[in-house]
Amino acid sequence: MRGVHSEDLELFLSLYETGSIHQTARRLFASASTVSRRLRGFEDELGVELFTRSPAGLEPTRRADTLLPYAQRILSEAATMTASLHAEASGIKPVRVAATIGLAQFVLAPVVRAQLGADAGSIPVGVAIEMRSSDDVLSAVAGDEADLGLTFAAGSARGLREEFAAPTANVALVDESHPLAAAAAVSFADLADYPIAVERQGNTARLMLDRAFASLGRPLTPLVECACPATIRTVVRGTDCVAVFAQRLLPRSSDDHGFAHLPIDDPAVQPRQIRVITRGGVARTHALESLIAGLRERLSD
More confident residue, 111 or 199: 111
Q: Is the dihedral of CA 185, 187, 190, 194 positive or negative?
A: positive
Q: Looking at the domain assignment, is residue 86 inside a domain?
A: no
Q: Looking at the domain assignment, is residue 102 inside a domain?
A: yes
Residue that finishes a domain, picked among 67, 82, 104:
67
| Same domain as 291, residue 149 | yes
Q: Looking at the domain assignment, is residue 1 inside a domain?
A: no
Report in angstroms the alpha-carbon separations of 132 from 24, 139, 159: 28, 10, 20
List, for residues 113-166, the tens digit of each pLDDT value: 888 766 544 555 678 899 888 888 888 998 889 999 999 887 766 778 999 999
Cα gap 277→232, rounded to integer Å: 27
Region at 208 (left for phi over 0; alpha for psi -120 to 50; beta for the rest):
alpha
Whole-number pLDDT of residue 254: 42
List, for residues 273-289, the tens digit of each pLDDT value: 899 999 887 778 888 88
Cα gap 229→14, rounded to integer Å: 16
More confident residue, 143 or 199: 143
| Same domain as 212, residue 163 | no
Amino acid at 245: F
| Same domain as 291, residue 159 | yes
Q: Which residues form the domain of 57?
A: 6-67
Quote the longest CA-to-CA distance of the chain.
Answer: 58
**Structure confidence at residue 73 as a pLDDT band (50, 70, 90):** confident
* CATH number of domain containing 10: 1.10.10.10
**Structure confidence at residue 28 as a pLDDT band (50, 70, 90):** confident
More confident residue, 247 or 121: 247
* CATH number of domain containing 132: 3.40.190.10
Q: Give the mean pLDDT of the chain.
A: 83
Cα gap 193→205, rounded to integer Å: 19
**Among candidate residues 97, 109, 86, 154, the one with its CA nearest the CA of residue 17:** 109
**Among candidate residues 142, 141, 119, 116, the one with its CA nearest the CA of residue 127:** 116
**Among candidate residues 99, 204, 203, the one with its CA nearest the CA of residue 151:** 99
- Mean per-residue pLDDT, 52-64: 88
Whole-number pLDDT of residue 86: 64
Domain count, the chain: 3
More confident residue, 252 or 182: 182
Q: Looking at the domain assignment, is residue 284 inside a domain?
A: yes
